[in-house]
Amino acid sequence: MTEVEARSTTALWTLPATELLAALRGGTVTAVAIMESVLDRVAAVDPLLHAFVEVDAAGALKAAHAADDAYRRGEAGPLSGIPFSVKDLHPVRGMRTGHGRAVRGAEPETEDDLVVERLRAAGAIPFGKTRSPEQGYSYSSMSSDGVATRTPWRLDYGAGGSSSGAAAAVAAGMGPLALGSDGGGSIRVPAALCGVVGLKPSFGRIPAFPVADAFTAPRVHIGPLARTVADAALFLHVAQGADSRDPFSWSDPMAAGLSARRPAPLRLAWTESPQGAPPVDPEVAAITGEAARRLAQALGSAPPTPSPGWGDQSEVQRVLWECGLAMRYPGPVDASCPDSLRRLVQRGRTWSMADLGAAGRARTRLFHHFREFFENWDVLMTPTCPVAGWPHDRPPGLAPGREDALLAGAAVYPFNLTGNPAITLPAGWTSGGLPVGLQLITGWRADPLLLEVAHVFEQVRPWTSRRPVLRRPDSGTGG
């Protein structure tokens, strides 16, 4: 096996966005050099990972030259020259949108997604579209063209879904920031499996547009995947705030940076495995449990108190998700759709209004459960995913005889139902070299506290110096 190395002679692709910005502002690097480094990295390693469905190198370099001109004129924006990728569910002007399907013959978009619009206005440069399962329907990393995105830590394992390409790209140095979306863990699960930061802000803090149906069971959160908490906070600062095009968006401005001070001792709770979920892999449980205890020590807090969890919410998520998919496919389902997606759409067509109403009432009860919970606790911690990964060509079945894909997200999708902010952080690595994610959740709209606590954990358990070593697999292995 031979190691795959980036063609760039610099290590700019290894740096987080905050360090790149400091170098740009200090005049020690150019936006063109950064973009060339990232594009070289994509060319070198994406043939192994399959993170991108489209890369606009010419457009990105043109924008990078414009960013350098802006710095020379003293007119640079808060993110000028920083590359970012965009999940293929979100339109980008000049690129095609496939929603996880092949887009041969499709016309390029003429307008940006609202968040892309905000990032671009701040000077950031969208350079590519990242792979996703069709309509973001699965925790699998397999898209409808039969190509799976791999985690860079083990090439025969998938990156998770549905922000599959976004997580793999950030983990492998193909851009410091990625725009993802999370309707049931679709930022947090792949971020955990790829060893990066995945932030699901409070619902509505980052507005969403275009959305075909903004009013039916809204629970999709827009957020960043990044290498550091500071980078995630930087993205959030630019992307947040109310917009008239999103009826559920709201404004509560947060400071651009992270506080250097540590929060006062906090009340910490710990749930290893909620009801209805499969047992957490022992190694994952040990890594995340130790990480939770270490965070408590760093905060000067009492050890995390075991919490019984919140009951099995899989039926609620299943009804809402399957009904939503059925509404996206009102006619015959195309033969090219994956069989698993077709089954979800067909089941979604069988749910009744009574079923939908019952799911809504259960969701309301869950919201009030956590409203009361966070009156007594400041932070809830869980393993993000019950395992550290699964082979890229298999569904995420996590218990004998139980191939239910929702099992992979039993600790994450409840907080889409409630709207609470949540973040996954790299907690450690298994003996086999796979990353393990620790999830932190805070109270309603308590995003500043969430980021402060996450930043403390990053300081006591730094992870950015550990990078995957991509190796070209032998014939028949991980190809």
Q: How far apart are CA 134 and CA 147, in angstroms?
A: 12
Distance separating alpha carbons of residues 89 and 217, to the nearest angstrom:
18
How many Å apart are CA 235 and CA 199, to the nearest integer? 10
Token pair of 192, please? 């955990």
> What's the start-to-end Cα distance of the chain, in Å?
13
CB 153 within 8 A of CB 372: no
Single out the catalytic residue among 8, 37, 87, 144: 87
Among 177, 206, 28, CA closest to 115: 206
Instruction: Pick the catalytic residue from 132, 164, 181, 186.
Output: 186
Q: In which region does residue 78 sit, left (phi positive, over 0), alpha (psi from -120 to 50) or beta (all else)?
A: alpha
259 catalytic per annotation:
no
87 is catalytic: yes
Element (H, E) at 458: helix 447-460
Encode 210-233: b = buried (16+ Cβ within 10 Å), e = exposed.
Answer: ebeeeeebbbbbbbbbbbbbbbbb
Task: Output the CA–CA distances (angstroms, integers) from residue 416 to 308, 329, 332, 344, 409, in the order listed.
Answer: 19, 22, 29, 19, 11
Catalytic residue, candidates 37, 141, 144, 162:
162
> Could you give the count of Cα atoms lying within 13 Å of 277 in the half-sphere of its Cβ?
26
Residue 322 CA to residue 335 CA, distance in Å, equals 18
Q: Which residues are catalytic, by number?
A: 87, 162, 186
